[in-house]
Structure 1
Amino acid sequence: MLVTYLEASRDLCEMDSILFGAALAVCRIIGAKVSTAGRATGLSSAIPAWSRRIEERIAKARALIGRMICFRSGNNRSRIVRTVRMAFAGTNVSLSQPDITQKMMAHDDLKQRIAAWGKRIRRYTERLTRINQNRLFQSDQKRLYESLERPMVSGTGPAPNQADNVAFWRGLWSEHVNHSEGPWTELVASQCASITPMDPVIITPDDVAEVVRRAPNWKSPGLDGLHHYSLKGLAVCHTVLARQFQEALNQKSLPSLFTTGITYLVPKDQCTRP
């Protein structure tokens, strides 16, 4: 079905709409969850479920240790006694036994369990950090070294005003500026006159397939919301994409969809003012 629609598409904008519709149809057919809220503004939690369960165990064990210490020190409040009694449920230990204090000392293995659980989480975190750093070293060494030298900064000041941000960026991007060309441009043009022009660029379906293959699957999409993963799966579009990109290159014109982006403000220090 997709081939018929692709061949009838006139430009890259129509092609983008067709591919987005195809990706959305696939998601609905397989029952995949589709988010319509757009890109998240904060960092998503990547803590696995088993790690959260261990952290809950640690929190409960620490609370139990605290109440046991209170009970041994003579605190006989009903809430403390009830918690300690529940901790010894299923054992032969009774709170009325004279040596209950010594037996409670024997249950200090909770501290050892907490230490073991904490080491398990640390091992996972360190292993995940090594894996991410190795992957980043393969893809972007500069970014890796920057992350090692400069940790992530979270702005602590008040959130910037939207009107101030719009005015600041409009002053940089929206105001037309007339640049005066200096005499050096004529000198450069005369020096480049003897350079042999490069051969015309021919975009082939293999070029499109190679670029799509090397692109990250789930990198944040543009305004169209189309991920690279969909372009990899819809391989039938590569031939038409190569033809339409070639036409755009020959006409020296790209649709506004390819020249419009979204700017996300990331603080570089504690100051959050524009």
Structure 2
Amino acid sequence: MVEQPANVDAAVNTPVVFDSNDDGTVAQELELEHMRSILEETIVEMRSTPLENRPRLPRIALSKRNRAVVRALNPMLVTYLEASRDLCKTDSILFGAALAVCRIIGAKVSKAGRATGHSSAIPAWRTRIEERIAKARALIGRLICFRSGNNRPRIVRTVRMAFAGKNVSLSQPDITQKLTERIDDLKQRIVAWGKRIRRYTERSTRFNQNRLFQSDQKRLYESLERPMVSETGPAPNQADIVAFWRGLWSEPVNHSEGPWTEVVASQCAGITPMDPVIITPDDVAEAVRRAPNWKSPGLDGLHHYWLKGFMACHSVLARQFQEALNQKSLPSLFTTGITHLVPKDQGACKFQINFNKNFGKVLK
């Protein structure tokens, strides 16, 4: 009993030496354990998070490192997926795994709560150039004021900062010529920046048109023929819009059935029912394989890429899809959508409903 503390201290202070051949194995095991802890944390976090409060998953690069992380997490999902009892829980597990991958590789994930509106989508480079143009125009205005005889302290301080490091004194006789040269230089810079914005914008427009021509030619021709809609007009009243669509979707309607329904029923009576549909994991894998990786996700925010990478979910999805088909019922995940009002022309709006496209394509 007396010697035990000394033995414990000796054991704690003794350095642990690994064989050189085992360094890679130990490091790999530690890394896998770290991944497992992140995976468990994200799954527990997403289990209690509503769909509308989920963060927006970014599009990750298709690199070897990212694929290796997805392959490493794939066998870890088996334990969680086997305990899943419905499609909603499976979806939350897969979203948590995707979020874990993003956190492991260091991808930038937006904050919780995805916006339902459309962003302006102004690129960062254009914002920077426009800020430079605004600053240059302000500087030109102050240089012109100083050249006209305005000697206020703020104007003088700005002029000195404009000529900092150029060995120019404001009291030298040719200061007017120096001011003119500086103003002309700033004007040329503004013209060059404006041409850069136009050049980049035209290039981006051509790129988007070429990509749209390959995917949807009809939409491209419609965008070329349809004039641009100005957003300066008055916005539609939100209360009127909600009342209009609520009258179409929320109010119960009693439809009057005519005699044609009996004719259709008699014609369908002799149709042989189709054989029962059996959904297999191969069917799920084939449906996922043909789906685009980063197509706009549905309400759950899960892209097709994650359904392809986490192959452990195929058998679970096949079983749960089969149960939903036999029970003739789907969870609210498949029947709830987000409605966006998109201006089509003056005084009219068209609507776009975004349902769950990922699981819906697999189920189809």
After TM superposition, the score normalised by the length of structure 1 is 0.77
Q: Find the aligned partners of 1:54 and 1:122 in 2 and give their Cα distance.
A: 12
Shift in Å, 1:258: 1.0
Displacement of 1:125: 1.5
Partner Cα distance (1:111, 1:64) in 2: 10
| Deviation (angstroms), 1:128 | 1.5
Change (3 A) 1:151 1:90: same
The one-character-per-residue Cα deviations of 1:155-212 (angstroms, maximum 9, x if unpaired) are: 6577667665554333212232232333334445566677776666554444433443
CA distance in 2, matches of 1:102, 1:33: 50
Mapped contact 1:212–1:231 kept (Cα < 8 A) = yes
Deviation larger for 61-70 or 48-57:
48-57
Q: CA deviation at 1:67?
A: 2.0
Q: Contact between 1:155 and 1:269, CA under 8 Å: does it hold in 2?
A: no
More moved, 76-85 vs 206-215 = 206-215
User: How far does the alpha carbon of each residue in 1:52-102 deviate from its partner, in whole angstroms, 9 at most, with x for none?
Assistant: 332222222212222222222333333223222222222243322223223
Q: Hey, what's the Cα distance between the residues in 2 that align with 1:154 and 1:227?
A: 33
Q: By how many angstroms is 1:4 displaced?
A: 2.9
Q: Secondary structure of 1:201's match?
A: coil
Residue 196 of structure 2 is aligned to residue 131 of structure 1: no
**Cα distance change of structure 1 residues 166 and 71 upon mapping to structure 2, 3 Å threshold:** closer
Using the alignment, how far apart are the partners of 1:225 and 1:154 within structure 2?
A: 31
Q: 1:129 to 1:202 in 2, by over 3 A?
A: farther
Query: Percent of counterpart pairs with the same letter?
Result: 91
Mapping for residues 56-135 of structure 1, pairs under 5 Å: 56-104=131-179, 108-135=184-211
TM-score (norm 2): 0.61
Pair 1:13 & 2:88 matched: yes
Change in Cα spacing, 1:91 to 1:174, as seen in structure 2 (3 Å) is closer
The 3 A distance-change label for structure 1 pair 191 and 47 is same
Asked if the contact 2:117/2:340 (under 8 Å) is kept, the reply is no
* 55-64 or 146-155, which deviates more: 146-155
Q: Is the 8 A contact 1:51 1:121 kept in 2?
A: yes
Contact 2:84 2:90 in 1 (8 A): yes
After superposition, the CA RMSD in angstroms is: 3.3
Please give the alpha-carbon distance, in whole angstroms, between the structure 2 residues aligned to 1:167 and 1:158.
19
Q: Which moved more, 1:196-205 or 1:37-46?
A: 196-205
**1:41 match:** 116
Q: Is the 8 A contact 2:88 2:333 kept in 1?
A: yes
Report the Cα offset of residue 139 of structure 1: 2.6
Deviation at 1:213, TM superposition (A): 4.1
SS at match of 1:267: strand
Bigger mean CA deviation after superposition, 145-154 or 259-268: 145-154
Pick closer, same or farther for the CA change 1:137–1:188 going to 2, 3 Å: farther
Deviates more, 1:223-232 or 1:124-133: 223-232
What are the ranges of 5 or more consecutive residues in structure 2 without an aligned counterpart? Answer: 1-75, 347-364
SS in 2 for 1:265: strand
Contact 1:153 1:269 (C-alpha < 8 Å) held by counterparts: yes
CA positional deviation for 1:110:
1.9
1:107-138 Cα distance to aligned partner (Å, 9 max, x none):
x1221121111111221111122222222223
Partners of 2:213 and 2:99 lie apart in 1 by: 34
Contact 1:154 1:267 in 2 (8 A): no
Tell me the secondary structure at the aligned position of residue 176 of structure 2: helix
Encode CA deviations 1:217-270: one digit per residue, 9 max, x unaligned: 455544434333322321221232233323433443322221122223334456
Cα distance in structure 1, aligned partners of 2:122 and 2:242: 35
Structure 2 vs 1, CA of residues 141 and 202 (structure 1 numbering), >3 Å: closer, same or farther?
farther
Q: CA shift at 1:35, angstroms?
A: 4.0
| CA distance in 1 between partners of 2:169 and 2:111 (Å) | 57
**C-alpha distance in structure 1 between counterparts of 2:243 and 2:162, whole Å:** 62
Distance change (3 Å), C-alpha of 1:33 and 1:49: closer
Task: For residue 19 of structure 1, report the CA deviation from its aligned partner.
Answer: 1.8
User: Quick check: 205-214 or 150-159, which moved more?
Assistant: 150-159
Distance 1:197 1:72 in 2: 91
Cα separation, 2, equivalents of 1:213 and 1:231: 9
Unaligned runs of 5+ in 1: none
How far apart, CA to CA, are the structure 2 residues paired with 1:202 and 1:134? 41
